[in-house]
Amino acid sequence: MDDLQVFNPEPSNSAFEGYSHFNGATHWLASDLMKILGYDKFSDFRKPITKAQKVCLTLNIPIEENFIHIPGIHGEKDVKLSRFACHLIAMNADIKKPQVAQAQVYFAAMAESVRQYLEHVEGVVRVELRGEISERERSLAGIVKNAGVEQYPLFQNAGYRGMYNMNLYQLRQLKGVPDSRSPLDYMGKTELAANLFRITQTEEKIKAEDIRGQQRLEATAEHVGKEVRNTMKRLSGRFPEELPPSDDIKTVQKRIKQTHRQFRKLDTNPKGRGKKSE
């Protein structure tokens, strides 16, 4: 079996299940999943694995329960993957590969048979992006504090004002975001990706030009926000505030955690769950 041929939600009916092993719980080898998803080099396959692990970290799901490093053939290392790990890797893999697109359909159908699989795929990507934005915001906050920002909310607001042509309060009102929550928690993957770019480029510009002082740093954040805003309009024909809001990220995280529990329950049952491993 060189790739996934059948994507029936029933695990026993999928060619993917033929690669599984059972040793207390069902698992797959990363070296096999790499081939299933159409990757030729493990070095290229590390990227979706890393992204999948970041999703686990964001959701406080133990990585060690889903990714276990083991010796592979010829002394090389391999990774034992839970079904949930395979699911996250497929959702973060190269969608241009037909095997990846097929695998996403399979896993999403198994995870949420009632929901459209594209919604589920986007949810996984949103969680990964939201977690990365949180990391970059912490990094940026540390840099601007050392550069002279004493009122971080004003600096943060300047970035939003540049990108959305309105203050953070106005953006919350427009998107229907509660006062206690970040607008980022209600953004789709396109808008999240744009904000991640805004935050990283603001940081890079501050470091490259050694910008200091509250007012100058606010002006920089606003300038970068405007550049991202204009780029989005030029490329897609829409400003960021015109993008529709998405489900609360906490709801999406809850669904993915439910998928994790569902898959674990499924794979602790040895009946018909792949080859027995020692």
Report pLDDT for 10: 43
> What pLDDT band is residue 229 in, cutting at 50, 70 and 90?
very high
Mean pLDDT of the chain: 85
Residue 257 has pLDDT above 90, yes or no: no
User: Can you give the pLDDT at residue 177?
Assistant: 94
Question: Which pair of tokens denotes residue 24?
Answer: 């207390």
The per-residue pLDDT for 13 is 41
pLDDT confidence band for 73 (50 / 70 / 90): low
**What's the pLDDT band for 152 if we cut at 50, 70, 90?**
very high
Contact 224, 205 (CB under 8 A): yes
**CA–CA separation, 250 vs 278, rounded Å?**
39
Question: Distance between CA atoms of 231 and 224, rounded to whole angstroms?
Answer: 11
Most confident of 5-14, 152-161, 269-278: 152-161
